[in-house]
């Protein structure tokens, strides 16, 4: 199956600058606007599963086959119209909004609509996942656990209760915390600013799996 580029290069005339004015390659007419290169994000082949919601609120399964901070290619059982807005919910990446820019056999390409912070997070996750996969690590070994420099944190429960805790170790996918209070397994909690659920009890406290795969910068900001 041939997959077209999500971000095709834009042809522009060769230009040079005289003083503060941009002119064409022959030194003649001024160029009022220089079109920026749209291919500023390198796409990587990836396999991420999830679902997406169309404008009519209907949801369908999907798989991301390539992705960059600016766009992604999805295979899906349905075809969307060009210009249609969608909301995708992807494993590890969470909620991503976008606009369909073109269709291909079995799927469609999406331009991601996101803030600079969200794009940076996507880029960090893509880099991390690609590097780990290139090393051939298994899922159990993929996300290294580290001991945080700033282990003090807060555990927030669905009813608003706040409990002090100590982060024993943390990874992109979860954390182990020491706490005298142990919420039941499957309880949705917030650790610092990260949402997750309790997946296991241990002698010192509980293990938490994050709802979304975090990026290294987020962990550094939260735990040092």
Backbone angles phi, psi at 124, to 5 degrees: -65, -40
- Could you tell me whether strands 107-113 and 71-75 are parallel, antiparallel, or unpaired per DSSP bridges? antiparallel
What pTM, to 2 d.p., does this model score? 0.49
Same domain, 78 and 189: no
Same domain, 4 and 78: yes
Same domain, 181 and 192: yes
Same domain, 172 and 190: yes
pLDDT tens for each residue of 155-169? 999 888 999 999 998
pLDDT tens for each residue of 126-158? 887 777 665 554 444 445 678 888 889 999 998
| Of 94, 118, 142, the domain-final residue | 142
Same domain, 149 and 103: no
Residue 57's Cβ-side half-sphere holds a number of Cα atoms within 13 Å equal to 0
> Which residues form the domain of 153?
144-223
Identify the helix (H) or strand (E) that includes residue 19.
none
Same domain, 10 and 53: yes
């Amino acid at each position: 199956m041939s997959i077209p580029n999500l971000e095709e290069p834009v042809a522009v005339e060769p230009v040079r600058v005289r003083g503060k004015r941009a002119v064409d390659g022959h030194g003649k007419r001024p160029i009022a606007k220089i079109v920026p290169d749209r291919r500023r994000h390198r796409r990587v082949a990836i396999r991420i599963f999830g679902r997406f919601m169309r404008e009519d609120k209907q949801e369908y399964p999907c798989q991301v086959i390539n992705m960059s901070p600016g766009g992604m290619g999805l295979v899906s059982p349905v075809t969307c119209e060009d210009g249609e807005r969608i909301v995708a919910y992807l494993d590890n990446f969470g909620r991503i909004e976008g606009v369909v820019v073109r269709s291909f056999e079995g799927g469609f390409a999406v331009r991601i609509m996101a803030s600079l912070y969200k794009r940076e997070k996507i880029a960090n996750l893509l880099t991390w996942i690609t590097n780990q996969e290139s090393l051939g690590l298994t899922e159990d070994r993929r996300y290294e656990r580290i001991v945080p420099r700033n282990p003090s944190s807060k555990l927030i429960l669905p009813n608003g209760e706040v409990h002090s805790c100590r982060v024993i170790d943390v990874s992109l996918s979860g954390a182990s915390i020491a706490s005298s209070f142990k919420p039941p397994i499957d309880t949705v909690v917030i650790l610092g600013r990260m949402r997750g659920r309790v997946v296991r009890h241990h002698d010192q406290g509980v293990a938490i799996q994050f709802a979304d795969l975090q990026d290294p910068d987020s962990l550094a900001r939260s735990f040092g």
